[in-house]
Amino acid sequence: MKKKALSVVLSLAIAGTLLAGCGGSGSSSQPASNAGAAQTGDAAATDGGSMDIRIISKSFNNQFYQAAFKGANDAAADLGVTVTTNGPDVETNTSQQVEQVKAAVNAKPDAIVLAACDTDSLEETLTAAKEAGIPVIGFDSGVPGDTTGAVLATAATDNTNAGANVAQNLIADPAFQEAILKGTEENPTVLGILAQDATSGSIVLRVNGFIEEAVKDLEALDGLAGAVDVSGQEKWTQPSAKPAKVKIVVTVPPSSSAADIQSASNTIFSTDNLVGVFAANQDAVNGVISATNDGTDLDKANGKYKDIFVVGFDSGTSQRQAVTNGQFLGSVTQDPYQMGYQAVTLAVKAANGEAVEDVDTGSKWYNAENIDSEEISVLLYD
């Protein structure tokens, strides 16, 4: 691997911080996505000279990864390095990605940035990268379960923080607060959570973060201290200290099929005193939309469920339309731009022998008011 001596330190501007969701403004507390600053408190990155960094995604043409490539290219321009982007035609084309990673290792770049389709299939190639002294930085889902030691850090969403971001913005909404506070010990109001499964690491962490933040924020409201109960799934059960006035109920379908997710969503919407619903990923969102007559039952003027506040996660086409129409209060999207930007920043540091650690690339709350803004639109993907 080429060794480059560093001599120039570039000061990166700190990203402008959005207003905190708990302030009732409906905006995220995460930094702006396209400012290009490190989000770990370390606002400085090092000039990489003419470094060669190879970036390989799970799927080259996917909108999510195209946004990540934009962040990577902007980081390259800021840091004075060269990046080359690549990836298979679809995420299931594992063999194509293996060949791409092999070719990258054989080119002996200064660093490789990788979102692995299948870690096991890449073990031999990652071992070769380790032996050649080529540092590997993960981004997005990274390289989970890597045992080779080649992967030094990952730039990815902290799903616990992202789930909390949803809860903050939901509970900060004055109309939601008015509705949820109608709960009594005899007739508690209900906040439903639809989780595609209870095993996927990212979904579990999102639900963990949502519940922790929701309980904290709800119990801070007048009359709800100690009166918020969590039930529905053993993994997340938290009995309330006092008789419950609000129940958070987690529903997990028997499988991740679209039919089972829609059926679980139907069950949630038939719950008495239902006030809000959190759909924890795009498949759960699709189930909610299917169960509500393509979202029309959520119409705030005449919909069957007009008084129910729905929030989601991710940003598929149907979800964006539901947010734009006001059928969803809002959703949280991951920040692929920062995944690309921070991964390149980490790669430059690692290539120069600096210690690196994982970076939370943040999440953004979007609603009908900001969905078309430049800051948000670059992050929305199918």
User: Across the chain, what does the average pLDDT equal?
Assistant: 89
Predicted model pTM: 0.81
Lowest mean pLDDT among 47-56, 103-112, 258-267: 47-56
Q: Is residue 311's pLDDT more than 90? A: yes
The model's confidence at residue 62, banded by pLDDT at 50, 70 and 90, is: confident
The answer to whether the CB of 150 falls within 8 A of the CB of 136 is yes
Quote the pLDDT of residue 223: 97
CA nearest to 113, candidates 123, 121, 104, 124: 104
Q: Could you please state the CATH topology (level 3) that the domain comprising 9-157+336-361 is classified under.
A: Rossmann fold (3.40.50)
Buried b (16+ CB within 10 A) or exposed e, 46-62: bbbbebbbbbbbbbbeb
Rounded-to-integer distance, Cα 239 and Cα 132, Å? 54
Residue type, 320: R
Query: 238 vs 129, 232, 275, CA distance in Å?
Result: 46, 10, 19
Percent of the chain clearing pLDDT 90 (strictly above): 83
Q: Taking the alpha carbons of 157, 158, 161, 163 in that order, is the dihedral positive or negative?
A: positive
Residue type, 297: D
Q: Is residue 10's pLDDT more than 60? A: no
- How would CATH label the architecture of 159-333? 3-Layer(aba) Sandwich (3.40)
For the beta carbon of residue 79, count every other beta carbon within 10 angstroms: 25
CA nearest to 295, candidates 280, 285, 281: 285
For the chain, which residues make up each domain, given as ranges?
A: 9-157+336-361, 159-333
Q: Which residues contact 82 (CB under 8 A, 6 or more apart)?
A: 50, 51, 52, 53, 76
Rounded-to-integer distance, Cα 300 and Cα 313, Å? 20
Q: Where do runs of H (alpha helix) occur along 42-140? A: 63-79, 94-106, 123-131
CA nearest to 82, candidates 107, 117, 65: 107
Q: What is the pLDDT of residues 279-294, one digit of tens each?
A: 999 999 999 999 999 9
For the beta carbon of residue 199, count every other beta carbon within 10 angstroms: 11
Q: What is the pLDDT of residues 139-198, one digit of tens each?
A: 999 999 999 999 999 999 999 999 999 999 999 999 999 999 999 999 999 999 999 999
The answer to whether the CB of 123 falls within 8 A of the CB of 147 is yes
Percent of the chain clearing pLDDT 70 (strictly above): 87
3-state secondary structure of 246: strand
Rounded-to-integer distance, Cα 328 and Cα 331, Å? 8
Q: Where do runs of H (alpha helix) occur along 173-316? A: 174-180, 201-219, 258-269, 282-291
CA nearest to 30, candidates 21, 18, 22: 18
The model's confidence at residue 310, banded by pLDDT at 50, 70 and 90, is: very high
For the beta carbon of residue 244, count every other beta carbon within 10 angstroms: 22
The model's confidence at residue 48, banded by pLDDT at 50, 70 and 90, is: low
Q: What is the pLDDT of residues 223-240, one digit of tens each?
A: 999 999 999 999 999 999
